Amino acid sequence: MSKFIISCGGTGGHLAPGLAVGQALINAGHEVSFVISRKQVDSRLVEKYSGLHIIKAPGVAFSLRPIKFLRFAREFLKAVKFGMKTLKESSYDVVISFGGFNSLGLSIAAAILKIPIVLHEANRKPGKATRLLGRFAVRIFVPYGVRIPRRKSGQVKYSGYPIRGEIQMLDPAESKKFFGFSPDSHLVLMLGGSQGAAALNDWANCNFDRLAEAGMDVLCVCGPGKYNYENRALKAQDGREHSIKFLEFCDNMAAAMSAADIVIARAGAGTIAELARCRVPSIIVPYPFAADNHQLENARCFEKQGACVVVPQNDLQKLFAEVLELASNDALRENMRKNLARVDELNDVSKIVDDLSRIARGGNE
């Protein structure tokens, strides 16, 4: 048995794959600790994982604004000191980083203490943390087809996105009933990632009447601090009552995706992987201000695989027509599901676990 510590906090896109790899390592007989941030979103996401060893570390996101940069620098030094203390208290064999500000302090501490560091980059455009920490890592896992230049031989390996065990296709009718919709409803699910998306929430709220008249119900997961809408219902011309329901947070994403006939979502790597696992057709609206515009890269790759439709945020006036087209085109949705199955085949966490076990035993190849 080996001992791993996984740094995976800050956003759901970092936390979810970290939990997936950690669960797989635990199932393989290893001991695992998880380092998350002190943000509320992290605490809410790990609430249902009561059996895991969770450590909350200091740290804030990087910014070039003078006051925020000073705060980042102060918290970064705290995080390195915290990481040194944490790693010295227990004999960890490997530190695994899933990127983001939460990973920096612990990873730098690991480099100082000469503990092997493994990085996982989920997006198709590597983030700042991956680029900075890559020089210290014994292994960097990246999506298929992504190139990281000037790395030593054998350091970079291709992998899919690790998905938590509970994310799987469920019965659609039962999933609809779970959220209070009719089992035979045509449900549109709006997702803005763990942070929420005000633009998508507003679009759902403003366009519900048109969606209802087209025979659709809506479930909108708003995100923390963006939950300021009222549930409502409308009797459409077909004589049926259709509803829109807003949730601030959803901790049963498998049921939400399984209930949906169509998902409208951001282009986080985790969201894309979960859409593939649940085989749900989608329209992707990349967040235009994501770091290094990585969401656009994610979305375009997903679209090239025939697994979604992409609508830029500055073209939201076209979104309703795209929803109608996808909802009415059975052949298109079926073709998407076949392509989603092929995408999902790449997300095999067992290869990552096997490699991590070798690294913990002192092997890098």
Q: What is the pLDDT of residues 244-264, one digit of tens each?
A: 999 999 989 999 999 999 999
Residues 270 and 320 in one domain: yes
Phi, psi of 62 (to 5 degrees): -70, 145
Inform me whether the pLDDT recorded for 217 exceeds 70. Answer: yes
Q: Specify the pLDDT at position 10.
A: 79
Query: Which residues have C-beta within 8 Å of that of residue 104, sequence separation ≥ 6?
Result: 59, 76, 79, 129, 132, 133
Please name the helix (run of DSSP H) or strand (run of DSSP E) that holds residue 188, with its range, or none. strand 186-191
Q: Specify the pLDDT at position 365.
A: 57
Residue numbers of the domain that contains 71: 3-162+348-360
Across 5-15, average pLDDT? 86
Inform me whether the pLDDT recorded for 168 exceeds 70. Answer: yes
Number of domains present in the structure of the chain: 2
Residues 154 and 187 in one domain: no
Residues 70 and 198 in one domain: no
248 close to 192: Cβ distance less than 8 angstroms: no
Across 101-129, average pLDDT? 90
Residues 190 and 317 in one domain: yes
Q: Specify the pLDDT at position 146.
A: 83
365 falls within a domain: no
Q: Specify the pLDDT at position 4.
A: 97
Across 200-223, average pLDDT? 96
Average pLDDT for the chain = 92
258 falls within a domain: yes
Q: Specify the pLDDT at position 245.
A: 97
Length of the chain: 365
Which CATH number characterizes residue 267's domain?
Answer: 3.40.50.2000
Residues 63 and 119 in one domain: yes
Identify the band that residue 194 occupies on the pLDDT scale cut at 50, 70 and 90: confident
Identify the band that residue 363 occupies on the pLDDT scale cut at 50, 70 and 90: low
Q: Specify the pLDDT at position 20.
A: 94
Q: Considering only 117-126, 181-190, 277-286, which range has the smallest mean pLDDT?
A: 117-126
Residue 186 to residue 282: CA distance in whole angstroms: 14
Using the structure block, give the residue that is written with the tokens 């949906």: 260
Q: Specify the pLDDT at position 302.
A: 95
Give the E-state strand segments of the chain in sequence order. 3-7, 31-36, 53-56, 94-97, 117-120, 139-142, 156-158, 186-191, 216-221, 232-235, 241-247, 262-265, 282-284, 309-310
40 falls within a domain: yes
Residues 158 and 181 in one domain: no
Q: Percent of the chain at pLDDT above 70?
A: 99
Q: Considering only 13-22, 44-53, 223-232, 351-360, which range has the smallest mean pLDDT?
A: 44-53
Inform me whether the pLDDT recorded for 364 exceeds 70. Answer: no
Identify the band that residue 216 occupies on the pLDDT scale cut at 50, 70 and 90: very high
Q: Specify the pLDDT at position 150.
A: 65
Residues 155 and 51 in one domain: yes
pLDDT digits (tens, 9 = 90+) for 282-327: 999 999 998 788 899 999 999 999 999 999 999 999 999 999 999 9
Residues 118 and 259 in one domain: no
Q: Specify the pLDDT at position 30.
A: 96
- Residue 144's CB is within 10 A of a number of other CB atoms, namely 10
Residues 89 and 141 in one domain: yes
Inform me whether the pLDDT recorded for 278 exceeds 90. Answer: yes
263 close to 243: Cβ distance less than 8 angstroms: no
**What is the four-CA torsion angle of 217, 283, 333, 213, rounded to 10 degrees?**
30
Residues 281 and 189 in one domain: yes
pLDDT digits (tens, 9 = 90+) for 18-74: 999 999 999 999 999 999 988 887 888 888 888 899 999 998 888 888 898 899 889
Residue 189 to residue 280: CA distance in whole angstroms: 10
- Residue 204's CB is within 10 A of a number of other CB atoms, namely 24
Across 84-100, average pLDDT? 93
167 falls within a domain: no
